[in-house]
Structure 1
Amino acid sequence: MDVVSSESDLVATWQVPMSDKMHKIEFEHGTTTGKRILRVDEKEILRHEWMFKLVGREMFELNGVRCAISIDAVGIFAYEYSLTVGGKAFEKFREQQKKSLQVWHVRMGEREIRVCLEKDTMDVWVNGSKVNTTGEFADEGTKTHFELATGSSAYILSESSGNRHIGMVHRLFVNDSLVKPSELADEGGENEKPK
C-alpha cells in the first residue's frame, strides 16, 4: 500500500500491465474543490486545480491505448473511481493481458532484466524496448533468439502443450538455463485504494 501524506487527495492507484513495463497510474481527486491530478509512472500528465463538476471522466493515452478514469457519485460525498483501458474495464483488460503476455525477470549480477513476450505477435521486449529476434524451427518447437542488454544470448522456446485448452507453452532460456516465468501480479502488486 502506498503511503499517502495527509495533504494528498490520492483516491486510487492501478498497476497496468503493458508490453514495455508495468505502468503505475495514480489519481487524485479533491472532493471539495474538484481538483484532479493524474500521474503515470510518477509523472504528472494532467492537472485541474478547480472544477465545479465533481463527477465525470478524464481521458488519456498509455502506449497509444486510449484510457479513461470515470468518477461516479455513489452517495453524498462518496465517489467511485474506475479505469477503462482500450475500451475495456480494467479488470477485463488485465485478464486479457495475463493471457497475451508472458513475463520473466532475469537476474544478471546486480541487474534485473524484464523480458516480455507478446504471444499474439511473438514480439519480444527487453527492459521496455522491443528487440530484434531471429526465428528457428527445432524438433521441440520454435526458438525465438535475441540478446539481452548485457550481451547474453537468450531464446524463447515455443511448443505445443499437448492440450488444446492450454495451447502453446513458452519457456525462456538465458545462456541455456531455464528461467522461471513471473506472474503479472508479481511485477507491481495488486491495485490499491489509499487509506
Structure 2
Amino acid sequence: MSGDLVAVWEVALSDGVHRIEFEHGTTTGKRVIYIDGKEVIRRDWMFKLVGKETFNVGSTDTKATINIDAVSGFAYEYTLEINGQSLRKYMENRSKVTSTWLLNLDGIDCRVVLG
C-alpha cells in the first residue's frame, strides 16, 4: 500500500469483523479499496476527485459505499455507509437486533452473534 491511505474502518458483520482501507490519490484521483488486506477495487486515474465507490463486504455480500466529499480546497472527507446507513447508525441498529459475546477459547478470540 502506498502513502495515499486516507481512511480505515473496522466493520462488524454477521460473519466477523472486516477491515476496510481506502487509498485516495488527490492529484490523480486514484482510488483503491482493500478489504481485510485484499485489493477489491482499483481505479488508477479519475478526473472527478469526489463521488462514491460501492462494493460488497463479507460472505453475505453486504453493500458498502465510501462517499468522497470535498471539505475545502484540497481537503476531503471520507464516510462509509453500510446498507445505505452511516456506519455509526448501522452499528447502533445492529446492536439493537443482535446479541454479541466475545469469548477467548484456548487463546483464540471468538465472536458469537445471535440475530
Judged with a 3 Å threshold, the aligned counterparts in structure 2 of structure 1 residues 94 and 109 are, in CA distance, closer, same or farther, namely same
Q: Deviations over 1:18-72 (max 9, x none)?
A: 1110111111101011110001111110001111111111010122222111111
Identity level (%): 47
Distance 1:45 1:26 in 2: 10
Equivalent in the alignment of 1:18: 13
Q: Which has the higher contact order (CA 8 A, sep 6+)?
A: 1
Q: Deviations over 1:159-188 (max 9, x none)?
A: xxxxxxxxxxxxxxxxxxxxxxxxxxxxxx
The reply to whether residue 108 of structure 1 matches residue 101 of structure 2 is: no
Q: TM (normalized to structure 2)?
A: 0.89
Judged with a 3 Å threshold, the aligned counterparts in structure 2 of structure 1 residues 100 and 10 are, in CA distance, closer, same or farther, namely same
- Whether contact under 8 Å (1:27, 1:37) holds in the other structure is yes
Which structure shows the bigger proportion of residues in strand conformation?
A: 2
Equivalent pairs, count:
113
- Whether contact under 8 Å (1:17, 1:97) holds in the other structure is no
Q: Deviations over 1:67-125 (max 9, x none)?
A: 1111111111111111111111111101111222222222222333321111xxxxxxx
Equivalent in the alignment of 2:41: 46
Structure 2 gap segments, 5+ residues each: none
